[in-house]
Amino acid sequence: MAASSRAAPAFLRLAAHPLRWRLLAELAGSDLRVRELVTRIGQPQNLVSYHLRLLRDGGLVTASRSSFDGRDSYYHLDLARCAQALAGTGAALHPALGMGGGGSTPATSANGQRVAVLFICTGNSGRSPIAEALLRHRTAGAVEVTSAGSRPGPRLHPHSVRVLRDRYAVDIAGQRPRHVDTLTGRRFDYVITLCDRAREVCPEFGDHARRMHWSIADPASAGDRDQAGYPAFVRTAGDIDTRIRHLLPVLATRQSVTQGG
């Protein structure tokens, strides 16, 4: 009787509402703006905004100003927080159900077929090469991964090279930025923009390509090439690595579908 009278965990109370569950499901695939969520959910903006506020108050969703249009905000689902909350919810029902999440499932290849992923930001000197390197590192090369920029710079940012070398033992010192136009005609299963500006000008890569957006601030804006700017790259690389670890099961599912079809 005592166990049955306990209140449901906070995550369950938040996620059980049908509209909030739909919002979580949409944000699980991509960072989105309110008007995009309104279109996808098919509910009035004031109602969508109300439930987004509840999800933000509950710590499941965060919001950041768009670097393309400061009047806009991108909403992001904190998958790591959701994994912890889900584990806590299971444990509240029975200790044996308190299994942790985190998405460490590797994407594998077979029969020469690999899922192809393209990361795009503006300069292809910070966020997108970090994402490219970390996805390749996390999958041991089982995923065909590329990065490009809408307005690539002449070289990688030194802090990008440093953070990958120091924190992840990955060397990209010999890599050079490339323009996204050089990839015209290439087939990609996933096209992931990491920059709000790049999202607005990202070219199409066919109906088969799944478009996703990760709204990640440019770490170079926190400081140029001096020592003071390096912590921003550490934080950005950590954010990208978390997102990639939660992307891996999605890629593994796509891989099995591709091989099965």
Active site residues: 121, 195, 202
- CA neighbours closer than 13 Å in the CB half-sphere of residue 170: 23
Report the alpha-carbon distance of residue 196 to residue 214 in Å, rounded: 8
Task: Please state the φ and ψ torsions of residue 209, each to the nearest 5 degrees.
Answer: -80, 125
Q: And the tokens for 173?
A: 């010192």
Contacts of 164 (CB under 8 A, 6+ apart): 130, 133, 134, 170, 171, 172, 237
Report the alpha-carbon distance of residue 228 to residue 222 in Å, rounded: 8
Q: How far is CA 107 from CA 53, 83, 110, 212, in A?
A: 34, 19, 10, 18
Report the alpha-carbon distance of residue 40 to residue 45 in Å, rounded: 11
What secondary structure letter does DSSP report for 41?
H
In order, the DSSP letters of 130-199 are HHHHHHHHHTTT-SEEEEEESS--SS--HHHHHHHHHHH----TT----BGGGGTT---SEEEE-SHHHH
Report the alpha-carbon distance of residue 162 to residue 164 in Å, rounded: 5
